[in-house]
Structure formats: C-alpha cells, structure tokens
C-alpha cells in the first residue's frame, strides 16, 4: 500500500488518527469559515502561463531570509499545541525542519519550551520565535529573553489577535483548555505563583508596543497578521525587518480577503522581505506566491497533518513533498530559480 501522495491525503490520515476535537481545533476557522476556504480557493483561481525552450538546468531552490540560508522558500509557520498531534510535539517538528534544511517559527503557545525545540533542531535549524505582546511589559521582556537565550534569530509578532476569534467547532466540542498534562510551556514560571501564565490578547495593541519591543531587543522583528499596504508602510517606518501577510489561517476575522490576494499590494508598498501564509497546499501555490513578489511562504496545517499522521517522519515527508513539487513546477514553468519567477507567469481564471 503506497503512502500519501499529496498534502490533502496527509490531512485525511490525520483526520482518521486524531480525536475529532483535536482535528477540528487544527482544521477549523472563525464563524462561517469563509476566509478559511478562500485561502485555498484563491490559489486555484490563479492560473500559470508557463514559458518553454528556456534551456534551464535544475532550478535553484535555495534562498535566504533575514540571514538564514535555507533549502527552499517554504518555512514552518507558528502553530500551537503540537503535542495534541503527536507525543513528541514540537521536538519532532524541529527535527524534521532541520532535516529539510528550512526554518521553523516556534509558537509562543507551543507544548514544548522554546529552548528544548532549539536543542532538538540543533545547530542546523534556524529558529524564530512567535510572540504575542502581553499587557505586562515585564512578561513580554521575559519571553523575549527566553527566545534570545534559546538562540532564536528573530521575533515574529502576531498583530491580528487583539481578541480571540470565535471558532464554532471548538465551542461545539467544549475545547477551551488543553488536556491534562499539556501546557503552554513558554509561559511556565511567568504566573505570580510561578505556574503557567495564560496567554493574553490585548485590545489596545498599537505601534507604541512595537516601539517598546524594539527598545528591549536587538533581534529582527517580523510582523505577522498584516494585510493592508498602509500598515506595511507604517511597519517599515517603525523599523520592522520583515512582514508576514496572514489572516491567521482564517481563524480570527471571517470574510477577510485571502492572503494571496493581499500579497502584491503589500510587496509594492515596502522594500523589506514579505512572507505569506494561509492556503498553501501545492508547490504550484509557492510559485504563485513568489511570482506576486513574496520572498517565501509559511505552512501551518500541513505540518500538523504530517505530524499527526506519521510524527517526525510525516513532517519530513510533507516538507519533501512540497520541495519536489516546487522543483517540478519551476522546471515546467521555464524558471531557473526561485528568484526568477516573472509576474507575467500568472493569469486570473475567467469567472
């Protein structure tokens, strides 16, 4: 019996192996899940118009992001609670990322502490840390120091979560807390009693918070969850090093535009690296994002599907699958590298 042949087949395996509440936590989106579906369907609406007889050898997939040299412009997005998918959780994900020679963004809500994730990935893993700024600046600074001490090379600040999105699948299952024995390990020791402090969403998040963060760390700051080009301009003016165009996988505000539809305007507005996440399921999706000017893509749910299906091996297979698909798509489009993808490679499908 052959193994999974696509990321969608990995999702089917994960659905069969996970408790329904865990599967729906990973798979679900906000409200009617309009944006969740749009993230994928928007990629399908973009069609490729390849060139031929270009005389190119094997395409060069390597790239660099904020000084991290990686094997392909596909990185692991921050997603919470990997131990819901596999007992080794983020440790397995980190090892697979190192094996694939790519970059991992560790979630602040990981079920393994960031220093242990760093040890699992070893020196071969470029690691960034995703951060929700907290109302208590001392807590935020403690998290920053923890990430710095673990060797993280950048902070990825999520800015689209001033409140929690309403995910009806989670409410249906009563999924509000982690099962016994699982914790947000990066928050351990930050409560008043030394226990695990809850992660807080703050409603008054503004550019002053970004400025204060800039004053306490020398790490590059990446803003995640930005969609509007005017906000991109403000981010660059505040010294942000890179952007991640993201609608939180459709998990926050429903009916937001698909991320791939927002990329080109953001890229045109700034001269800093731009990543995109949400809806990437094929190597051709990566080509489309790069053709629109993105410097790379981040994948979230597909990593969790691989982890739930086959642990570390599954994550490695997901990353290898996307790399192979990207290589093949570039060859068939007549492109010599991930830095040689013209905008005129894309066409909008007729309505």
CATH number where 292 lies: 3.20.20.70
pLDDT per residue over 231-274, tens digit each? Answer: 999 999 999 999 999 999 999 999 999 999 999 999 999 999 99
User: In this predicted structure, what is the pLDDT of residue 1?
Assistant: 47
**Torsions phi, psi of 23, nearest 5?**
-60, -45
Dihedral (Cα; 15, 254, 208, 218), 10-degree rounding: 30
DSSP codes, 229-245: HHHHHHHHHTT--EEEE
CB 300 within 8 A of CB 249: yes
Task: Specify if 157 maps to a domain.
Answer: yes
User: In this predicted structure, what is the pLDDT of residue 201?
Assistant: 93
User: In this predicted structure, what is the pLDDT of residue 351?
Assistant: 58
By annotation, the residues acting in catalysis are: 248
Task: Specify if 125 maps to a domain.
Answer: yes
The whole-angstrom separation of Cα 225 and Cα 298 is 12
DSSP codes, 197-235: PPP---TT--HHHHHHHHHH--S-EEEEEE--HHHHHHH
Q: In the chain, how long is the greatest CA-to-CA distance?
A: 67
Domains held by the chain: number: 1
User: In this predicted structure, what is the pLDDT of residue 55?
Assistant: 77
Task: Specify if 2 maps to a domain.
Answer: no
Residue ranges for the chain with pLDDT beneath 70: 1, 351
Task: Specify if 313 maps to a domain.
Answer: yes
Burial of residue 66 (number of CB atoms within 10 Å: 0-12, 13-18, 19+): middle
Task: Specify if 53 maps to a domain.
Answer: yes
- What separation in angstroms does the CA of 201 have from each of 70, 191, 246, 295? 32, 16, 17, 29
Task: Specify if 351 maps to a domain.
Answer: no
Task: Specify if 1 maps to a domain.
Answer: no
DSSP codes, 273-313: -EEEESS--SHHHHHHHHHTT-SEEEESHHHHHHHHHHHHH
SS3 119: helix
- The per-type count for the chain, helices as H runs and strands as E runs, is 12, 12
Task: Specify if 25 maps to a domain.
Answer: yes
Q: Sign of torsion, CA 95 279 183 242?
A: positive
Q: Quick count: other Cβ atoms within 10 Å of Cβ 206?
A: 11
Q: Which domain holds residue 165?
A: 7-346
pLDDT per residue over 166-216, tens digit each? Answer: 999 989 999 988 999 999 999 999 988 889 999 999 999 999 999 999 999
């Amino acid at each position: 019996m052959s193994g999974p042949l696509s990321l969608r087949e990995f999702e089917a395996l994960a659905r069969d192996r996970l408790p329904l509440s865990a599967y729906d936590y990973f798979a679900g989106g906000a409200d009617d899940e309009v944006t969740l579906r749009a993230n994928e369907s928007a990629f399908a609406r973009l069609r490729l118009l390849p060139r031929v007889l270009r005389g190119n050898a094997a395409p060069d997939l390597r790239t660099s992001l904020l000084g991290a040299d990686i094997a392909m412009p596909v990185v692991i997005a921050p997603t919470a609670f990997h131990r819901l998918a596999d007992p080794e959780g983020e440790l397995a994900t980190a090892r697979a990322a190192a094996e694939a020679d790519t970059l991992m963004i560790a979630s602040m809500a990981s079920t393994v502490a960031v220093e242990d994730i760093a040890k699992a990935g070893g020196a071969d893993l470029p690691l960034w840390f995703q951060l929700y700024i907290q109302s208590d600046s001392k807590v935020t600074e403690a998290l920053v120091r923890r990430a710095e001490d673990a060797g993280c090379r950048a902070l990825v600040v999520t800015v689209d979560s001033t409140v929690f999105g309403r995910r009806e699948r989670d409410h249906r299952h009563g999924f509000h807390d982690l099962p016994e024995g699982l914790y947000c390990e990066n928050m351990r020791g930050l409560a008043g009693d030394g226990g695990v402090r809850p992660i807080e969403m703050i409603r008054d998040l503004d550019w002053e918070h970004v400025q204060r963060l800039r004053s306490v760390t020398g790490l590059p700051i990446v803003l995640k969850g930005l969609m509007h080009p005017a906000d991109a301009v403000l981010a660059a003016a505040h010294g942000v090093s890179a952007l991640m165009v993201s609608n939180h996988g459709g998990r926050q505000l429903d009916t937001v535009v698909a991320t791939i539809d927002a990329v080109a305007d953001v890229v045109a507005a700034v001269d800093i690296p731009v990543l995109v996440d949400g809806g990437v399921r094929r190597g051709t999706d990566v080509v489309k994002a790069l053709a629109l000017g993105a410097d790379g893509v981040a994948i979230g749910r597909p990593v969790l599907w691989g982890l739930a299906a086959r642990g570390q091996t599954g994550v490695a297979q997901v990353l290898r699958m996307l790399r192979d698909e990207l290589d093949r798509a570039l060859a068939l489009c007549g492109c010599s590298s991930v830095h040689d993808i013209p905008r005129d490679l894309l066409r909008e499908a007729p309505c």
